[in-house]
Structure 1
Amino acid sequence: MGKIKTNFVCQECGYESLKWMGKCPGCGSWNTMVEELQQKDVTSPIVTISKPLTINEIEIVEEERYTTYLEELDRVLGGGIVKGSLILVGGDPGIGKSTLLLQVASNISSKGKIVLYVSGEESARQIKLRAKRIDIKEDRLYILSETNLASIEKYIIEIKPHVVIIDSIQTIYRAELQSAPGSVSQVREATSVLMRIAKTLNISIFIVGHVTKEGSIAGPRVLEHMVDTVLYFEGNRYHTYRILRAVKNRFGSTNEIGVFEMREKGLVEIKNPSELLLSGRPSNVSGSCVVCSMEGTRPVLVEIQALTCATSFGMPRRMATGVDYNRVILLMAVLEKRVGMQVQTFDAYVNVAGGLKLDEPACDLGIICSIASSFRNIPIDTKTIVIGEVGLTGEIRGVSLIEKRILEAKKLGFSRCVIPKENVRGIDIPNGISIIPASNIYEALEALLGG
């Protein structure tokens, strides 16, 4: 076998060099030269494998899927694991990525399928200790502690598993490349080989990816473009629950989330996250308001808390946790201009209870009502939920899926709902819950706080 040759290619302009250089001569960028394998010239004639078809000639075939026996994960994946797919799972260290995938491996192998769990960060004994802690003991679950890509490929062909888990992609290396494991070239080459294995052998492969301080997947951006699905495992290490979110999915929606709780025996699914997020909510306290946010097709009830107090300095402080800081500043300006509530000399702190992050405009009215409730020191009725997007003129705009939101509120015992006036037309109002339509924030505050 001849020696495999490499060269260095600038990731900005494509300039090629036989040696590494700190500064690219082509575009002048620093530290963009990355080692890559040289592509051999292909002198054989082009072999046509497929031909162009009209859109009407193409037949739709439903993808064959494996269930993970975790309903929350299956929902995020779009109904289960698609055969031959490459799935990237990212998340902060210690958040529970390895535990989640080990549980998935156990569930799938317990139903007769072969699963290969490859770890480049832990020894086989360490994985066994974690498996023992969460009570996993399946005969068809194989553990391999290896970082060499050629050895991993050899064992995949030998064992012929249905599902492969690589933990993590930053530890895998190809011996022909001189760069260190985790570098751009190594990560890209390893992902390319795993993608070829997944598509040619029809094996579903999970790869775990580290995240940077900014929260994005470490390594080249092309890594996320190469895979079929990108999942982020989110959560606060000081809270017990975790949120699994899809940011890319070629076989399903990217709006769904799955909620889990970390316990001593592993991750447990949370079938009703609204009930969990509202547990421990105080009663008859100002500055608390419940909103309904749509996470994909699932309505989730969340408590928004606000605290206002007179500032001790010339410039008041503003803090927001779980909601966009700039959005809070904008809504406070609307509250001051359109209602006449003088909050410019008050510190304001807004928090989403439970650590969930909200970015849906339908939560605008809840933020305004919680700030106004704290400012006037008037509690909002604990059986009331508010829904609506707020514009700069103080109007409350309609939101989507209003009936689903109202039904979720009724299911959890709420009896009153403030919604946009334009959403009232054409909806079926369930028994046991009263609807208060509001066309602007003044009408909403008058109904909740008495003017």
Structure 2
Amino acid sequence: MAKTAARPGFVCTECGWTTVKWQGRCGECQTWGSVSEAGAPRLATVQSHTPTSKAVPIARIDPDLAIRTLTGVGELDRVLGDGIVPGAVVLLAGEPGVGKSTLLLEVAARWAKAGRRTLYVSGEESAAQVRLRAGRTNALADELYLAAETDLGTVLGHIEEVAPSLMVLDSVQTVGTAEAEGSPGGPTQVREVTAALVRVAKRRGMAVIIVGHVTKDGAIAGPRLLEHLVDVVLAFEGDRHSGFRMVRATKNRFGPADEVGCFEMAETGIVEVTDPSGLFTSVHAEPVPGTCITVTMEGRRPLLAELQALVVPSVLPAPRRTVHGLDSGRVSMVLAVLERRCRVAVGSRDVYASTVGGAKVSDPSADLAIAIAIASAATNTTLAPRTLALGEVGLAGELRRVPGTDRRLAEAARLGFTDALVPTETTTGRRGLVDARRLSTTERPGIRVHEVPTLAHALSAAGVDGR
């Protein structure tokens, strides 16, 4: 009796999930269009080979072979961890039009102006188009080589011919190879192209920066394996209606993964912003009701942000709640606490809350500033000038301290703020948790700190409780 051949299965190219019949969506990672047919599994026998180089004790390896090199763009070096390591592969992802190509062309130009050979490979634009943009942003250098290619084999040939110390590929979704299935941009093609570039980068000690696209959900397009293959993953964020841009590290094998770099898009290209706090605050000739300053943490960097609120009588059965740049859920929670715990009448009124300069604030430390701004607008009272507030608001009306309070206050003092409202510090002694129930004021270098235990105390100390 003839043996029945093994029925071919289907496998997800994203996570490796298998199924006996084709499905449009992976049952494991929920990715659409990633399930493809695969042959019956076979057990392959792998034979050992003589290694080309012997393993050596780790102490004998020369650490100077991995000395960092500055890219010339200070804010990017800050995120990378004081430069890029030879042989490192960096993935920079962001939405269309955010400025990825402009930033990396500037990085390539500054690297080349330092006398280091650089190769910029563009798969999305022609060489003439890249040259036109380089002339506009003054990104021309003798050691900067440019190639417009979409074939992986040709790209590797350019690397062998130019022998650069840094290569920029824009973008990995536009490059393909005949050795892999699918079309350029597909999961299999993206995986093979990235794996080939990682191999050549490690072999030659050449740094590689790869541009990656993102999906409509904001995730990096391509297989999840892509983020595991590279050494550093950077996210380039920004609002197309604002010139402010931010580079955030989500993975970094050679440095901190919680740093951010700040940039601003200008007519001449992308410009570093070493002190971005001024972008998110406005200057008022006189105190205005409904405004409050807070200090948020982007990675390990404290940034000042101005929060504004407007409270007006509503003519609708359901009062309007409009939020821009803030977490709408947290704003709704703060409104409920103000209504229930502090007797601030906002339930039947329209409330508008926003940030200044297009900043996006999701840090819980902004709760107190949001509450003060809304209470100030509701009671038509003003907060004292050069005063800020930071702290998390609880549902019981209590205030909680947030991490990095000392660093936030030091940044506020450096920028000229004289007073700060913060939650009362709790200490633990023999009798357990001790919470101060009265307001206290302490002097710190350059700033007076007013400690308040509850939101009601904070509104009273700020003078915005309507009394």
Same-fold status (TM-score > 0.5): yes
Distance 1:336 1:281 in 2: 29
Distance 2:19 2:55 in 1: 34
Q: Which residue of 1 aligns with 2:447?
A: 433
Which 10-residue stretch deviates more, 23-32 or 278-287? 23-32
Distance 1:263 1:389 in 2: 36
Q: Which residue of 2 aligns with 1:448?
A: 462
Correspondence 1:238 to 2:241: yes
Correspondence 1:33 to 2:35: yes
Match of 2:296 among 278, 286, 293: 293
Q: Does the C-alpha gap of structure 1 residues 272 and 170 become closer, same or farther in structure 2, counting only changes over 3 Å?
A: same
Q: Which amino acid aligns with 1:446?
A: S
Correspondence 1:192 to 2:195: yes
Correspondence 1:44 to 2:58: no
* CA offsets 1:333-380 (integer angstroms, 9 cap, x no match): 122221122322122222111112222221111111111111111121
Q: Which runs of 5+ in 2 are unaligned?
A: 1-8, 428-435
* CA offsets 1:51-105 (integer angstroms, 9 cap, x no match): 899xx98999584211011211111111111111111111121111111001100
Match of 1:64 among 58, 64, 67: 67
Q: Which residue of 1 aligns with 2:323?
A: 320
Distance 1:29 1:335 in 2: 42
Distance 1:346 1:177 in 2: 60
Match of 1:211 among 205, 211, 214: 214
- C-alpha displacement of 1:9: 3.2
Maintained 8 Å contact 1:15/1:24: no
Q: Which residue of 2 aligns with 1:113?
A: 116
Task: Determine helix, strand or coil for the equivalent of 1:82.
Answer: coil
Distance 1:448 1:266 in 2: 42
Correspondence 1:142 to 2:156: no
Distance 2:26 2:235 in 1: 37
- C-alpha displacement of 1:128: 0.6
Q: Which residue of 1 aligns with 2:12?
A: 10
Q: Does the C-alpha gap of structure 1 residues 154 and 432 become closer, same or farther in structure 2, counting only changes over 3 Å?
A: closer
Distance 1:223 1:433 in 2: 47
Maintained 8 Å contact 1:402/1:423: no
Which 10-residue stretch deviates more, 276-285 or 293-302? 276-285
Match of 2:78 among 75, 78, 102: 75
Maintained 8 Å contact 1:89/1:206: yes
Q: Does the C-alpha gap of structure 1 residues 148 and 398 become closer, same or farther in structure 2, counting only changes over 3 Å?
A: same
Distance 1:318 1:307 in 2: 10
Distance 2:182 2:394 in 1: 53
Q: Which residue of 1 aligns with 2:431?
A: none
Q: Does the C-alpha gap of structure 1 residues 261 and 344 become closer, same or farther in structure 2, counting only changes over 3 Å?
A: same
- C-alpha displacement of 1:206: 0.6
Maintained 8 Å contact 1:164/1:205: yes
Q: Which amino acid aligns with 1:397?
A: R
Q: Which residue of 2 aligns with 1:393?
A: 396
Q: Which residue of 1 aligns with 2:5?
A: none
- C-alpha displacement of 1:280: 4.2
Q: Which amino acid aligns with 1:436?
A: H
Correspondence 1:183 to 2:186: yes
* CA offsets 1:158-209 (integer angstroms, 9 cap, x no match): 2221111000011010113342111111111111111111222211111111
- C-alpha displacement of 1:442: 0.8
Q: Which amino acid aligns with 1:392?
A: L
Residues 121-160 of structure 1 mapped to structure 2, 5 A cutoff: 121-160=124-163
Q: Does the C-alpha gap of structure 1 residues 134 and 203 become closer, same or farther in structure 2, counting only changes over 3 Å?
A: same
What is the number of residues matched between the two proteins? 440
- C-alpha displacement of 1:42: 5.5
* CA offsets 1:210-237 (integer angstroms, 9 cap, x no match): 1122222122222122211111111122
* CA offsets 1:123-153 (integer angstroms, 9 cap, x no match): 1111110111111221111101001001111
Report % sequence identity.
Answer: 41
State the superposition RMSD in angstroms.
3.2
Task: Determine helix, strand or coil for the equivalent of 2:425.
Answer: helix
- C-alpha displacement of 1:34: 3.9
Q: Which amino acid aligns with 2:389?
A: V
Q: Does the C-alpha gap of structure 1 residues 30 and 333 become closer, same or farther in structure 2, counting only changes over 3 Å?
A: closer
Q: Which amino acid aligns with 1:92?
A: E
Q: Which residue of 1 aligns with 2:6?
A: none
Residues 351-366 of structure 1 mapped to structure 2, 5 A cutoff: 351-366=354-369
Structure 1 length-normalised TM:
0.89
Which 10-residue stretch deviates more, 410-419 or 429-438? 429-438
Distance 2:22 2:54 in 1: 41
Q: Which runs of 5+ in 1 are unaligned?
A: 1-6
